Amino acid sequence: MPANLPPEAQARLAKYSEAKTVEEKIRALEEFISAVPKHKGVENLLLWAKRRLAELREELEEQKRKRKGGGGPRIFVEKEGAAQVAVIGPPNTGKSLLVQRLTGARTRVADYPFSTTLPVPGMLPYKDIYFQLVDSPPLSREAPQFIPRIAGLARNADAVIVVVSLDSDPVEQYEFVRDILSEHGVFIEKPRGTVRIEKGGEHGVQVLGSGRILDGTIKDVERLLSRYRIYRARVYVEGEVSLDDIEMAILRSSVYRPTIVLANKADVPGAAERYRRLYNYLLERKSKSVWLIPVSARTGLNLDKIGELLFKRLNIIRVYTKKPNSEPSKIPVVLPKGSTIRDLAEHIHSDMLEYFEYAKVWGPSAKYPGERVGLDHVLEDGDIVEIHSKR
Ligand SMILES: Nc1nc2c(ncn2[C@@H]2O[C@H](COP(=O)(O)OP(=O)(O)OP(=O)(O)O)[C@@H](O)[C@H]2O)c(=O)[nH]1
Ligand SMILES: [Mg+2]
């Protein structure tokens, strides 16, 4: 890729990228698959199309169920708390017992694989916030029907917990989970670059962002997009990307989700040695973006560390708002690290920004208690903020 497609197949792909509804997308992809010649050089695109088709069919089913008014299994779980974390992994690794021990949710735990068939959410308290952990069915080639749903769950979540078991080779389990998710456009290791495409705009095709295209120029990007009948777009490039990555981004954006790997069953014989293998493997791959910790859902080892790890991994801060002459709120506003008073004001209410006058800050980011600051002041975890408006 970019594959050399006959015009017929290319037109079908363009139709897909223009399609608005799930039904239209399904139809366009089916037509594409039948129009594409089966020769070398298009395998990747064909594979992608088939996977995407499976996902879309799942989505359609889900929509139908919703229209009928509930009932039946759900793929997506409504977000609650400071962040949603998808708990995923191969069969029988202890996902359900972990979620149960961490949140008290009534997940089904069994000593045989494939015991979980539906996502089950539970809330993990950490300090004065909660993380929503979502237990999920096992990822396995033996149960292909779950794969697009689990990938969708991970895509929709703010972070991922991968659970592998130390009673067999954890490297194999980890690679399996990583590869299957990336086939569905969800990266758990930080990719070398990312592309995001916004169609429209006034200025033709623009390439923006701090990244770099490895194997082409802006002209090549224009040519590529025009094959999909896109003549006006903003292409945001971060890190290093190829023209292939850009073509994939036209068809479906990939996402990166911050990830923690829990090496579970640390209590079984041989666990320490297997853990070391995974540790060294991640070290060698320089996957600094993936965090690893040994745990045992059975003995409780390190379960008390998970809240803090998630908090750090998610790069979030807690900010407490207060009104003049009253106590700060007990429940914080959760924002991404690096957020400013402007972000806080926008988060609270759109009017807040319009009538903003100044803010007073107490806590880590304040030079002195009650420092008076403007919209660009950068907040830190634990700050208390009083916003004064013109009316
Ligand atoms: N020794 C040991 N056994 C564990 C641990 N965690 C879970 N188990 C056992 O492993 C088996 C599977 O646990 P589950 O929580 O059902 O695993 P799962 O990953 O949810 O399984 P599926 O939903 O089928 O994918 C059960 O018999 C658990 O009691 C652990 O830390 N140590
Ligand atoms: Mg389970």
Q: What is the CATH number of the domain that holds 3?
A: 1.20.58
301 ligand 1 Cβ < 6 A: no
Least confident of 75-79, 284-288, 299-303: 284-288
Q: Using an 8 Å Cβ cutoff, are 380 and 364 in contact?
A: yes
Cα–Cα distances (Å) from 325 to 92, 322, 386, in that order, read 54, 8, 10
Does residue 77 belong to any structural domain of this protein?
Answer: no
Least confident of 14-23, 98-107, 172-181, 323-332: 14-23
- Give the residue, by CA position, lying nearest to ligand 1 atom 13: 94
Nearest atom, ligand 1, residue 109 CA: 16
CA of 299 to the centre of ligand 2 (A): 18
123 shares a domain with 243: no
128 shares a domain with 106: yes
Whether residue 2 has a cis bond before it, omega within 30° of 0: yes
User: DSSP label at 21?
Assistant: S
CA of 244 to the centre of ligand 1 (A): 40
Give residue 45's pLDDT: 82
CA dist 343 and 332 (Å) reads 14
pLDDT band for position 60 (cuts 50, 70, 90): confident
- Cα dihedral 297, 301, 307, 311, rounded to 10, equals -120
CA of 156 to the centre of ligand 1 (A): 25
Residue 71 confidence (pLDDT) above 60:
no
Give residue 183's pLDDT: 86
Residues β-bridged to residue 263: 164, 294
288 shares a domain with 139: yes
Does residue 75 belong to any structural domain of this protein?
Answer: no
In the listed set 214, 235, 252, which residue is the last one of a domain according to the structure?
252
DSSP-derived 3-state class of residue 171: helix
221 shares a domain with 197: yes
pLDDT band for position 57 (cuts 50, 70, 90): confident
CA of 134 to the centre of ligand 2 (A): 11
DSSP-derived 3-state class of residue 386: strand
For β-strands 333-336 and 316-322, DSSP reports them as antiparallel
For the chain, what percent of residues have pLDDT higher than 70?
Answer: 96
In the listed set 235, 252, 269, which residue is the last one of a domain according to the structure?
252
- Cα dihedral 344, 346, 349, 353, rounded to 10, equals 100
325 shares a domain with 290: no
Nearest atom, ligand 1, residue 264 CA: 31
Q: Among all chains, which residue has been given the structure tokens 């790890």?
A: 309
Q: Is 293 exposed, middle or buried (0-12, 13-18, 19+ CB in 10 A)?
A: middle
Give residue 70's pLDDT: 53
CA dist 226 and 186 (Å) reads 26
Does residue 274 belong to any structural domain of this protein?
Answer: yes
Nearest atom, ligand 1, residue 93 CA: 19
293 shares a domain with 183: yes
Q: Using an 8 Å Cβ cutoff, are 331 and 338 in contact?
A: no
CA of 287 to the centre of ligand 2 (A): 27
pLDDT band for position 201 (cuts 50, 70, 90): confident
Output the domain CATH number for residue 364: 3.10.20.30
Give residue 2's pLDDT: 60
Least confident of 97-111, 188-202, 290-304: 188-202
Least confident of 15-19, 70-74, 167-171, 373-377: 70-74
pTM of the model: 0.86
Q: Is 51 exposed, middle or buried (0-12, 13-18, 19+ CB in 10 A)?
A: middle
pLDDT band for position 249 (cuts 50, 70, 90): confident
Does residue 76 belong to any structural domain of this protein?
Answer: no
184 shares a domain with 196: no
CA of 96 to the centre of ligand 1 (A): 7
CA dist 338 and 162 (Å) reads 27
206 shares a domain with 305: no
CA dist 215 and 167 (Å) reads 44
Domains identified in the chain, total number:
4
Does residue 65 belong to any structural domain of this protein?
Answer: yes
375 shares a domain with 273: no
Task: Tell me the residue range of the domain where 50 lies.
Answer: 1-70
CA dist 11 and 128 (Å) reads 53
328 ligand 1 Cβ < 6 A: no
Most confident of the following: 41-45, 65-69, 147-151, 249-253: 147-151
150 shares a domain with 286: yes
Residues β-bridged to residue 129: 126
Find the mean pLDDT for residues 246-272: 92
298 ligand 1 Cβ < 6 A: yes
In the listed set 314, 336, 364, which residue is the last one of a domain according to the structure?
314
CA angle 88, 336, 297 (to 5 degrees): 30
Nearest atom, ligand 1, residue 91 CA: 25
pLDDT band for position 390 (cuts 50, 70, 90): confident
Residue 181 confidence (pLDDT) above 90:
yes
Q: Using an 8 Å Cβ cutoff, are 372 and 362 in contact?
A: no
CA dist 131 and 122 (Å) reads 8
- Give the residue, by CA position, lying nearest to ligand 1 atom 8: 94
Give residue 246's pLDDT: 92
65 shares a domain with 90: no
235 shares a domain with 94: no
pLDDT band for position 350 (cuts 50, 70, 90): confident
Output the domain CATH number for residue 160: 3.40.50.300
